[in-house]
A = this chain, B = another copy of it.
Amino acid sequence: MPASPAAPGSTALGEPRSEAGRRRAGRPVGGVLDKAGITAAALTLIEKKGYDGLTMAALARSLNVAPSALYNHMESKRDVLLLVEDHLAALVDVSAFGAEPWEEAVRKWAWSYRDVFSRHTPLIPVIAVLPVTDAPQTLAMYETVSAGFRDAGFPEERIVSSIVALESFIFGSAYDVTAPADIFDSGSMADVTPSFTGAVRSLAAQGHERPADVAFSLGLEALIAGLGALRSA
């Protein structure tokens, strides 16, 4: 009724669907375009082209499909990011909970969590506001961690706040990892910022391979010590 959708059916069997089109037209055949397939394609794309390269068009292209086809399976691009986020949550190492002392379990979890998301910082604004209902793997991670805290003797009403505090630190620290090495170069302002410039030089003189790791370790150990004091038994 509205505009003019051009020649119907004529070009419908043209080149665009030559290969995959035949396989996937109609009903569920193998399912290249299900959630698992979309997630895998998105991850590959992110690895190869980064988050700037993750466009709906590029994603569709890598699945041999028209961009609009994605919208039969997802409401928006945000859903794609959610899928990726939840996949990554499953990569976070929670295995030490229940197997090692609480301190060590938190330590391993936190380092692993930071490492995974430091390569996916564009997801952080998404996760931070993400209702866990939509992310089963993420929820599973919280369950394991919560159980670890409970078994370690944490009062139930402090568990969520403690995890949130740790997570906040982890997300912020994930950004640090990606910061340029010269981020604290005060340049021409060096003479009016003697304390800061001196502190930066003093740290640089230590010659740490990854300065972000030093700050992360420092903060994490402080949090573990401070939060650990909340335990009753």
A189 to B111, CA, bound (A): 27
Residues 115-133 (chain A) with a chain B CB within 8 angstroms: 121-122, 124-125, 128-133
**Chain A residues near B (Cβ < 8 Å):** 121-122, 124-125, 128-133, 136, 139-140, 142-143, 145-147, 149-150, 156-162, 164-173, 175-176, 178-180, 182-189, 192-196, 198-200, 202-203, 205-206, 211-212, 214-216, 218-219, 221-223, 225-227, 230
Q: Indicate if the CB atoms of B164 and A132 lie closer than 8 Å.
A: no
Contact A176 B164 (CB under 8 A): yes
**Which listed residue, B129, B150, B202, touches A178 by the CB 8 Å rule?**
B129
10 A-B contacts (beta carbon < 8 Å): A125-B125, A143-B194, A145-B196, A150-B195, A156-B199, A156-B202, A161-B211, A164-B215, A169-B219, A218-B227
Closest to A121 in B: B125
**Chain B residues whose C-beta falls within 8 Å of the C-beta of A219 in the assembled complex:** 165-166, 168-169, 223, 226-227
**Assembled-state Cα–Cα distance A112/B227 (Å):** 23
Q: Is B176's CB under 8 angstroms from A128's CB?
A: yes
Complex Cα–Cα for A36 and B131 (A) = 39
Are A189 and B139 within 8 A (Cβ)?
yes
A226 engages B222 (CB within 8 Å):
yes
What residues on B are CB-neighbors of A200 within 8 Å? 160
8 Å CB contact of A175 from B122, B128, B188, B227? B128
Measured between C-beta atoms, what is the minimum distance from A232 to chain B in Å? Answer: 14
C-alpha spacing A157/B212, complex, angstroms = 14
